[in-house]
Amino acid sequence: MDPQQILQFPHPAAPAAGVSVEIVPGLRWLRMPLPFALDHINLWLLEDGPGWTIVDCGIATDLTRGLWEQIFAAPPGGEPPGASSRAFQATRVLVTHYHPDHAGLAHWLCERFGVKLWMSQAEYLTAHAIRENIAGYAPENLLAMYRGNGLGGETLKQMSMRGNHYRVVVPEFPHSYRRIMDGDEVCIGGRGWRVLIGYGHAPEHAALYCSELGVLISGDMVLPKISPNISVRSTDPDGNPLKQFLDSLKRYTGLPNDTLVLPSHGLPFRGLRERVEQLEEHHLQRFEALHEACEQPLSAFEAMPTLFQRELDTQQFFFAMGEAMAHLHYLFYQGSLRRQTGADGVMRYLQNGAFRKGIVAK
């Protein structure tokens, strides 16, 4: 059976660009375009007293700003513009994590409405660190890590030409913020939204759960059709982010299974536990395939065809390289692979006995 047939999609049609639609009372869905293979992001408006809490912002382009202006010009409640209709007002901007499709216009929105950014600490600081090329966040550090894992040639050259692309799509970022932490109860429109921090995809990703509405704003942690990118970061080159991600997923299985999940990409869906199981099975299959491929020593670059059978553009390659490393690191810390650095300075991985299915990485 197609895994998608197990999930329920109560809202099969996405809103047109520049338009918001009500999902449940007091919560509206809008979608902004992205200039990538993953061509959209879902954003959310939560009714909040005299205005709206904005959850995630879109990338910083003139197109996205123009679409936001359309949202501001047409009152989200649906009443026709005129003397009796209230102008759009934001009460806060809440960003799930630092990635540019989520954080790109945070500064612009906060400045436009004179409101505060709400964000977890690690995500806020990471955004500033990347923008300012601080320590290991500088592009050359990432490229050096990839080089040590087998990347070279024309692809490395093309990636080096990107420079600090983050500053292009996040041109400014707020100089202060309101910190949110795991377990915090954020009151929005008289309803409590519990902060659920997850790891692996980003340093301190914040999802939001409202038990009264039965809604989870999952950000990128739980998506209906794809697994989010899980990459080793140059600031933590020996990290095990895939274990962090899989451990974080388990938290969501404690929520009611009829929870309406509002993801950042794809359609809203029900079937949260089934989707978590699908994501776990997806990575298990990749672990097994990668372990089999490592019968001969493989670098992360050499292992990529095992994980990605399609042709990748430069941006996709950027993410895929980090994800290949994440899978290899998981198997290494689990004990299924061993690793060694060759005379060429490249790290390679080799089977360390049989694949240890079900053993949790240390």
The tokens for 253 are 């299985």
d(Cα 29, Cα 27) in Å, to the nearest integer?
7
Helix (H) or strand (E) holding 286: helix 272-293
Nearest partner of 287 among 355, 359, 360, judged by Cα: 355
> What is the DSSP secondary-structure string of 298-327?
B-HHHHHHHH--S---HHHHHHHHHHHHHH
CA distance between the termini of the chain: 34
**Confidence at 247, pLDDT banded by 50, 70, 90:** very high
Q: How far apart are CA 47 and CA 25, in angstroms?
A: 9
CB count within 10 Å of CB 359 equals 10
Residue 7 has φ and ψ, to the nearest 5°, of: -85, 155
Q: Give residue-wise pLDDT tens across range 33-69.
A: 999 989 999 999 999 999 999 999 999 999 999 999 9
How many other C-beta atoms are found inside a 10 Å radius of the C-beta of residue 218? 27
Under 8 Å between Cβ of 212 and 202: no
Predicted structure pTM score: 0.94
Centre a 10 Å sphere on the Cβ of residue 262 and count the other Cβ atoms it contains: 25
Whether residue 27 has pLDDT greater than 70:
yes
Alpha-carbon distance of 111 to 50, in angstroms, equals: 18
pLDDT band at 1 (very low <50, low <70, confident <90, very high): very low
pLDDT at 156: 82
Q: Are 262 and 326 in contact (CB under 8 A)?
A: no
Q: Kindly tell me if the per-residue pLDDT of 360 is higher than 60.
A: no
Residues whose CB falls within 8 Å of the CB of residue 209, separated by 6 or more in sequence, listed in order: 193, 194, 196, 215, 216, 217, 255, 259
Domains and CATH numbers, the chain: 3-286 (3.60.15.10)
pLDDT in tens, 314-331: 788 889 999 999 999 999
